[in-house]
Amino acid sequence: MKYLCLICAETVMEQMTEEVAAQHFAEYSEFTQTIKDSGHYLGCNRLLPPSAAITLRVRNGKVTTTDGPFIETKEQLGGYYLIEARDLNEAIQVASRIPGAKFGCVEVRPVAEDEQTLRALGFDDAAKLSADHLGH
């Protein structure tokens, strides 16, 4: 199964001292290589701070935008990993090693891979893809 690991923290890289950020980047580099080697890695990226975000809404066909995140919280979404794991327990074990978990939290969420979702997202052979992903 695929799991999205959403990394949240009160302090993002841009708010860290140069020395602390450099150490944190090194920890992420090491972690990323480890999960690539183990076969868990599917993708990842770091997000810019909420000050770079735009929130949009469409109501009655009209688009409105607001600078910044939709919700004001202390913790900020700082990045993500998309991983492959046998089950939720294995996903939790992998996610627990994400360096940002020491400073904030990591939300581990299963990715929907049911036939209806795959078809809606434009996968040509959704039934086959769903069966392959579910191990059938």
Span 55-94, pLDDT tens digits: 889 999 999 998 876 556 677 889 999 999 999 999 999 9
Cα(72)–Cα(90) distance, rounded to whole angstroms? 32
Cα(134)–Cα(8) distance, rounded to whole angstroms? 29
Mean pLDDT in the chain? Answer: 87
- Check residue 136 and give its pLDDT: 39
Structure token pair of residue 132? 């392959």
- Check residue 69 and give its pLDDT: 62
| Residues 98, 106 contacting (CB under 8 angstroms) | yes
- Check residue 125 and give its pLDDT: 64
CA-based nearest residue to 129, from 108, 115, 110, 109: 115
CA 2 centroid distance within chain: 11
The whole model's pTM is what? 0.82
- Check residue 98 and give its pLDDT: 97
Cα(50)–Cα(70) distance, rounded to whole angstroms? 9
